[in-house]
Amino acid sequence: MTTPLPFPVFGVAGFKNSGKTTLVTRIVQELSDRGYAVSTIKHAHHGFDLDKPGRDSFLHRNAGAQEVAIISNSRWALMRELRGAEEPVFRDVLSKLSPCDVVIVEGYKMEDHPKIELRLAGSERRPLAPEDPTIVAIASDEPISDEHLPCFERNRVRDIADFIVTHLELGAPGS
């Protein structure tokens, strides 16, 4: 039996350069405008750096610090260097988030939370939904007629957000 997730979670799945980040940011904006407290998780399949060479925090990490916290009056961040350790599993990352109404996930398409699949017209890639029961809807830039799942035009973000709220049974913001 799988342990329940600490927050309602909904993902956006698709292949590289399909527009996932654009859709995620538009969903986050729409849900935030409605009053929901939204957090996001983005999974990268490559190295990334939030820091810049020469900055104090970069120098701290380069010197060997395992964790570096940066705090100001407008935001804070905690960076952890894995230094060869295993990448944390999705549920561990999720458990680090502060309480919120919903978490929108970009990537992590192999995890078991519900997702909307993003499809591009003319793509040579096989659709994900037929082999992935966690995909509960599809967003595309062309009409899809032979699909049994709910389908949305990718720019109809209000409709997609309505679907997410209903699917996750979010209720009123902050409840």
Query: Using one digit for the tens of pLDDT, what is the confidence trace for 32-43?
Result: 999 999 999 988
Report yes or no on 154 lying in a domain.
yes
Q: How far is CA 118 from the centre of its chain?
A: 13
Residue 119 forms beta bridges with which residues?
Answer: 140
pLDDT score, position 35: 96
With vertex at residue 131, the alpha carbon angle to CA 113 and CA 23, rounded to the nearest 5 degrees, is 50
Residue 92: CATH number of its domain: 3.40.50.300
The structural domain count of the chain equals 1
**Predicted TM-score of the model (pTM):** 0.88
Arithmetic mean of pLDDT over the chain: 88
Task: State the pLDDT confidence band at 22, using cuts at 50, 70 and 90.
Answer: very high
Least confident of 75-89, 126-140, 141-155: 75-89
Question: For the chain, percent helix, then strand, then coil, each to nearest 5?
Answer: 25, 20, 55
Report yes or no on 161 lying in a domain.
yes
Report yes or no on 70 lying in a domain.
no
Amino acid at 160: I
Residue 74: CB atoms within 10 A of its CB come to 5
- Of 53 and 151, the one with more pLDDT: 151
Instruction: State what percent of residues in the chain have pLDDT above 90.
Output: 46
Quick check: 47 pLDDT over 80?
no
Report yes or no on 25 lying in a domain.
yes
